[in-house]
Amino acid sequence: MHQFHQQRPTWAEVSLAAVRHNFLTIKKHLNPDARLMAVVKADAYGHGAVECSRVLESIGADWFGVAMIEEGAVLREAGITRPIFCLGGFWQGQAEDLIKYDLTTAIFRLDSAEELNARAREAGRMIEFHLKVDTGMGRLGIPVADVAEFAHSLKRFDRIKLDGVMTHFAEADSDETDYSETQIERFKEAVKILRELGFNPAWQHLANSAGIHAHPQSHGNLARAGATLYGLERDVLASRPEPFGLRPVLSLHSRVSMLKTVPAGTPVGYGCTFRTTRESRIATIPIGYADGFRRAHSNNGRVIVRGRFAPIVGRVSMDLTMIDVTDVPDVELADEVILIGEEKGLRIAAEDLAEEIGTISYEIVTGISSRVPRVFSLDDDPAIML
Ligand SMILES: *Cc1c(COP(=O)(O)O)cnc(C)c1O
């Protein structure tokens, strides 16, 4: 890594104390016999997988969930020792690495079961996996109608063991609960079929954050929480019951790097899509769509400066964004600008940004690019050791 005396003033702060609070809060809502898998795929939804996982492991996360082998390997290399589950299975040729990094995978294809079995034999090991069943998501998983046939085919593999069954909800965040209830019923049917065929899966898991929240009967003995660990709720959970009351984890910051007073009628940014209608103070901040601050925020959104909202004006460009600070007194060069976060009672949540540009908060936080340094704080909670 290069060492600089000073860095570009654009950064994301991640409160690990808030992650801890959220984990413990979600745990309180789980049925007592259910364990909690902390889903830390996509670099913990942009929050830093290694740092978040260390804290979560220290406070009792039972499992970690990643999307793929590559993400699991990063956690193992960082010293995470709890079970790590590959939600998306693995690509052909990756079974060897799966075993090497001691990861547990979902299986939903016979060819991957075969590959895993072959590599397990070579390694002289017995490898456990979880069968992924499609109960209505239509993405990954064996349709319930095909589970019996698939399970029969698994019997010829002597080096892999079906140790869990899982499925995934399509709309557990909906206030319409029928579809999720149907999925739960189909899941029970799949488990029954497996039992009748002599399988005895130790783990049964269905619920994501929204399932944990709205469908307690889906907790099984393991539940998989992602978004809620990072304090995202408004566009993650159904409107009933009450939200968990989580703390936001990530805030996004920059500083004023250019400041000028311009006359009425001055165009701002690419395409001249904004024109001042009065003498205006325009500030430029060094953050753009290459940082994950989306171009869709052009003339559409606001930031917090000196405890006031200031509108985004003109197009967001790759590295830079302009804001109108005419109504914010005394703005100076290097003043802090908050794009996600809270100051003096004003708040911009990831959910707000998502709403402004027609997406979900998941996409906002995972989209903050690697160009933005993450700064971790333990703030009010000195008990956490990294
Ligand atoms: C990402 C993911 C989760 C976590 O979902 P959240 O809505 O973030 O809680 C759970 N299960 C599977 C299979 C996933 O892919």
pTM of the model: 0.96
Instruction: State yes or no: is 101 an active-site residue.
Output: no
Q: Are 27 and 36 in contact (CB under 8 A)?
A: yes
Q: Given the CA of residue 140, which atom of ligand 1 is nearest to it?
A: 13
Q: Look at strands 63-66 and 250-255 and give their pairing.
A: unpaired
Q: Which amino acid is at 247?
A: R
Contacts of 58 (CB under 8 A, 6+ apart): 384, 385
Structure confidence at residue 383 (pLDDT): 52
47 CB near ligand 1 (under 6 Å): no
Q: Is the peptide bond before 241 cis (omega within 30 degrees of 0)?
A: yes
227 CB near ligand 1 (under 6 Å): yes
Quickly count: other Cβ atoms within 10 Å of residue 202's Cβ: 13
Which residues are bridge partners to 258 per DSSP?
284
Q: Given the CA of residue 209, which atom of ligand 1 is nearest to it?
A: 9
Name the helix (H) or strand (E) containing 188: helix 178-196
Closest to 346 measured CA to CA, from 385, 304, 312: 304
314 CB near ligand 1 (under 6 Å): no
Residue 31 in tokens: 């049925």
Among 41, 45, 132, 362, the active-site one is 41
Q: Which amino acid is at 77?
A: E
d(CA 233, CA 251): 15
Instruction: State yes or no: is 41 an active-site residue.
Output: yes
SS3 of residue 245 by DSSP: coil
225 CB near ligand 1 (under 6 Å): yes
Q: Which amino acid is at 164?
A: G
207 CB near ligand 1 (under 6 Å): no
Phi/psi-derived region of residue 133, left when phi > 0, alpha when psi is between -120 and 50, beta in every other case: beta
Structure confidence at residue 385 (pLDDT): 47
Mutation test residue for ligand 1: of 208, 360, 365, 366, the one with most atoms within 8 Å of CB:
208
Q: Given the CA of residue 232, which atom of ligand 1 is nearest to it?
A: 8
Contacts of 340 (CB under 8 A, 6+ apart): 250, 251, 252, 348, 349, 350, 353, 364
Domains for the chain: give ranges and CATH numbers.
31-229 (3.20.20.10), 250-385 (2.40.37.10)
Structure confidence at residue 2 (pLDDT): 76
Query: Which residues of the chain carry a pLDDT beneath 70?
Result: 1, 379-386
Rounded distance from Cα 225 to ligand 1 centre (Å): 6
Closest to 204 measured CA to CA, from 2, 33, 13, 18: 33
Structure confidence at residue 3 (pLDDT): 81
Angle made by CA atoms 91, 92, 95, in degrees to the nearest 5: 85
Let me know how many helices (H) and strands (E) the chain has, helices first.
Answer: 11, 21
The percent of residues in the chain predicted with pLDDT above 70, rounded, is 98
SS3 of residue 295 by DSSP: helix
- Strand residues in 117-229 grouped as ranges (E): 127-134, 142-143, 160-166, 203-205, 222-225
d(CA 171, CA 60): 28
